[in-house]
Every structure is written in C-alpha cells, then in structure tokens.
Amino acid sequence: MARFLFGLCNYGVYIVLVSKSRFVLRVCTKNRGHHNNRNSMKIALAQINPTIGAFKDNTAKMTSLIDKAKGLSCDLVVFPELVISGYPPLDLLERNDFVNVNIKHLYELVDSVKGIGVICGFVDKNRDTGGKPLHNSAIFFEDGSILYQVQKRLLPNYDVFDENRYFKPGKESSCCLYKGYRLGLTICEDIWNDAELYPRQVFSRRLYPVDPVADLVKGGADLIINISSSPFWIGKTRSKHEMLGNLAKKYQTPLLYVNQVGGNDSLLFDGASMAFDSQGQIAARGLDFEEDFILFDTDTQKGDIHQVSKTQAQSVLKALIMGTRDYVKKCGFSSVLVGLSGGIDSALTVCMAVEAVGKENVTGVFMPSQFTSHTSHKDTEKLSGNLGIRLIQIPITDIFDQFLRSLTPVFKDITTEITGQNIQARIRGTTLMALSNKLGGLVLSTGNKSELAVGYCTLYGDMVGGLAVISDVPKTMVYELAKHINKNGEIIPSSILNKAPSAELKPDQADEDDLCSYEILDKISKAYIEENREPSNIIAMGLDPKAVSETIFRIDRSEYKRYQAPPALKVTAKSFGHGRRYPIARRYLSK
C-alpha cells in the first residue's frame, strides 16, 4: 500500500508518494519566505566504513550510531554517500536485485528510526522514461517520514570515477526547511565546481556548466551539507580543506562535509569529515583513516576537533595499513603471507601487514638462492624477530638447478641471463602461491611504483599476489615511509635502509646498474604518469634527455605487465589500474 507524506521545503509544500518499489517527490510551490522559528541544532557527523553489498551490516552500523546520536540529544545525524550499498559498487549497479535490496534496507531503516533526523546516501531508480536507470541519491527522513530527497547532479567521469556509466544526473538543487534552517543538501562532486577554485589539482578548467552550491545559496540555503565518498590521494587533503573553507567563507554559510572511510579494493577513503563555520574556519573534524563520530552545534558553530595526520608519510602509512586491513577482511581472509628478500620493499610491506592484521596473522617467507647475500639472511631474520612474526625459510637453489637441467637441451648457460633471473622469481612466486593454497593466507606482493612503471618486475614471479600494497608508492617514498616506521626505535634493520637496492638474481647485482637512479626515475615517472607531461617538457625540467627517453620507453612498453598485476592501493593522484587506461597494442609511443 502506498503512503503519502507531507512537509515543507524551500519552495513550499512537498508530497512524497512512498510505495514498496519507489519514491516519488512532488513539490507544490508557493512564495518563499524566511522561517523565523529557527532552533539551535546539534548535528552528528558519522563517518563509517561500509562494505560493498553488506546491506545488513552497513545499516546495523548506522542504527547503532543513530542511537548514539539520540543519546547525545542530537537533532540530526548525517552519513556518507551511498552508505547503504557502500561505494563504489561498480557493475553491481547493473543487477536489479542489488538495487532492490539496497532500497529494501533503506525502507527498513526509515521505518525503524524515531526521534531524530537522518541524512544518508543510497541508490535509487530513475522514474523517468529516459536516461540511465539509476540515481546517486541522498535522502532525509525522520519518524518514519521521508522529508526530502535529492539526486547527485555532477557525475564524475575521470580517473577512477565512472558514474555516468550508471547514473542519471539530478535536474535541480533546492533546499529543505528543517527546524528553521534551509538545508542545502549536496552529494560529493556537487561541491567541486565553484568557478573561483580553478585551476585546481586535477583539472585546469571547470568540468560542468552548473554549480549546485551556488544554486542552493541563491535559493536561500543557510546550511550546506555534503555527503561524500571521496577517495584519498597525496595532496588532496589540503586542497579539499581549502576548497570547503573557501566555499563556507564565500557564501558566509556553515558547511558540513561527511566522508566515507575505509578501503574498498584499490580505493582508500580517509574520512576526515569536517564542519566549517560561516567565516570558513574549521569548526569540527573527524579522524583520518578511522571510523569516527563528531558533533557540530549550529548555534555556536563549534564542534569536536580530532587529530589527523601531521605529515605526508604518516597519512600514507595510515592509508596503506587501513587499505590492507580492509582488503584482507572484506575479501574473507584472516592471514597474509609476504615474501621477504632482505630488501626495503618487502620490509616495509611486512611491517604494514603486521599493523593491519596483527603479527600472529603474518607469515614471512624467505627463499634464498645461491645469489642471496649473507647480509640478506641476517637482515630477514632480524626483521622477523623485531616484528615477532613466523618466518618460513625455503631455499630455491636445488629447484633452480633442476629447472636449468631440464632446459639444457633448449638453452645453454642461462643462469645469470634475464631468463634465468626470471625463473628464480617465478620459482618464488609459485612457492608463495603454494603456501597460500595450503595455509589459506593472502599473498601480498611487494613491488613499488617505480619498478612497476618501468617493468622492472617479473610476471608470475615477484608480481604474484592478491594485493599489491605498495605498487603506487615510488621508491623514494618507500624509504621515507620506512624511516617513519623506525622513528620510535629500529624495527626495520638499518642495514636494510642503507644497502643498495638489488634483486639478488645474479652476482653483484644492483637495481641502478639497469636503471637510472631512483631519485631521477621517480621525477620522470611522476611528470609523465601523474602530470601527463610530454618528454620535451620533462627534459626542460633539467633532467638528462637519455634518462628521460629510456624511462618513458620502458613505461610505455610495460603496459601489458600492469594489466596483469594484482589490485594496488591508490595513494597518488594517478595510479596504475582503473584510473589510468592505456591500450596495450598500439603504435603511438611518446618521444
């Protein structure tokens, strides 16, 4: 049976027809006048970590926080974008059953909540005859009644975002009257199109012809609320803070921003929900990379301010640890395996794994060959002891020798050639996957972004695994993060930090014998991959033309390897994977 719900919005009386299969909002307009009966509101900002498709768990978590907000005498509690389903659900949105279950759980939540207003995001169906079949929606309800609903107007379709694939944009922005406030409700990208903010970090021009925030302010909004699922990457936190503060100051209107937290596949969400007063000053802030619950008072325009990361290294470490923990847990694993080489990359990876899932759930695997140095043996044992993890040692020399004997009729003396080096890496990869099959742990690959960029890695060898923890972390940053781990005492042995990087696949091997220095390589890679600079422009930065040419050639020709790499945790503005889509078979190479 359908229900009719009535209320007031910015344009007058609205009527919502609610049935078991749909929401329909109808607005009856009248002359707009300011509502003088304004009450002070205590608003809770609830940043939670949803799991995609875990509707029951997600709504149960929301219910718990709604009860907490009621216990603190809050008038309103605000949750992130698409919190019912988790973000991003990707092609699950093409499944009608997925969308229906999402709506079902929303109805159940609406019917169960009494005594407090709730704003949250969910997937709604497009009731019109044209356009994409879904809306990315926000809903506002109280005491079993739906007070208001809006659809996301600006749908990002760049980098990791592909919302035009699924959603139809909303048509207009209007306000909802609640306790004397005209609430301007927006969803994530809706706040990212102010004309005065350009040029900005990613784009130098505006992407959309409309500005929902400006429209809401023109319509009388005196409190802007934005629900988001905005992924983290280096540099974004500062630009986001500046953007939100500038919007609040520009319109002299308090602004509340509630962001999802947690890792969903490659994407990492930092939370760090914020409230700004009408002068653009920070008034409330949630923790970064943790679930949190903070309050904001509309009368005093003040709220809880919790500490966030103070340095880039700290925020990246938090992001990677959180992303590893969530990937392992949400994929149904409880333990992990890490191949340890005695080098800096595997040392950093295993340290973060211990923080993510606990030392009792981490197994290190050391697989020395005849080319493995005595120092690497000692360093691996010391690192494992410092962390308190189980260490399995499986020498591969005999296996490698048998491999070479089996190939002797075809190949001659390939022990130290690239073929022999790759065989060693693949023996190790096969060993790790065998242990994973038997022990049930998820293999974490340990390659960094610098290596992946230029293809300095072996398919089905050191690239095997279920998650690439640091493959969006440049080598120079690997050292920075490792030093941060050691800031309160030596966990990663100093000899690992100080030795020259080497794959140890042949005698006296060093990475920089095959590559330019990592400092130069990382500068070239960042300019080419993250900033889309042309080779001539990169050379103009004062970098060696030969190093630029060789590095870019390696990057271009290694695309096929990256297509077969495990999912990587994204921490830079442009990571390999879904956010950077280049064809493998192509004739065009940068020159």
The CA distance from 194 to 206, in Å, is 8
- Please name the residues in contact with 550: beta carbons below 8 A apart, sequence gap of 6 or more: 516
CA atoms within 13 A on the CB side of 571: 27
Burial 203-230 (b: 16+ CB within 10 A, else e): eeebeeebbbbbbbbebbbbbbbbbbbb
Three-state DSSP class for residue 219: coil
445: tokens are 């690959």
Contact 114, 66 (CB under 8 A): no
Cβ–Cβ under 8 Å, residues 344 and 501: yes
Which residues contact residue 3 at a Cβ distance below 8 angstroms, ignoring those fewer than 6 apart?
17, 18, 19
User: Hey, how many other C-beta atoms are within 10 angstroms of the C-beta on 236?
Assistant: 16
**Sheet hosting strand 42-47, strand order edge to edge:** 145-151, 134-142, 117-125, 76-78, 42-47, 292-297, 302-303
Count helices and strands (H / E) in the chain. Answer: 17, 23
- What distance in Å separates the CA atoms of residue 173 and residue 362, rounded to the nearest whole number? 50
Which amino acid does the sequence have at 486?
N
Alpha-carbon torsion angle 91, 96, 101, 103, nearest 10: 100
User: In whole angstroms, what is the distance from residue 78 CA to residue 304 CA?
Assistant: 15
Residue written as tokens 């925030």? 213
Task: Tokens for 437, please give them.
Answer: 């099959």
Q: What is the DSSP letter of 113?
A: -
How many other CB atoms are there within 10 angstroms of residue 309's CB atom? 18
CB-count exposure of residue 391 (10 Å: 0-12, 13-18, 19+):
middle
Q: Quick check: 416 and 389 in contact, CB under 8 A? A: no
DSSP 8-state secondary structure symbol assigned to residue 170: P
Residues involved in catalysis: 81, 152, 188
Query: Can the peptide bond before residue 89 be classed as cis, meaning omega within 30 degrees of 0?
Result: no
Element (H, E) at 405: helix 397-407
DSSP letter for 162, please: -
> Among 62, 207, 164, 205, which residue's Cα sits nearest to residue 120?
62
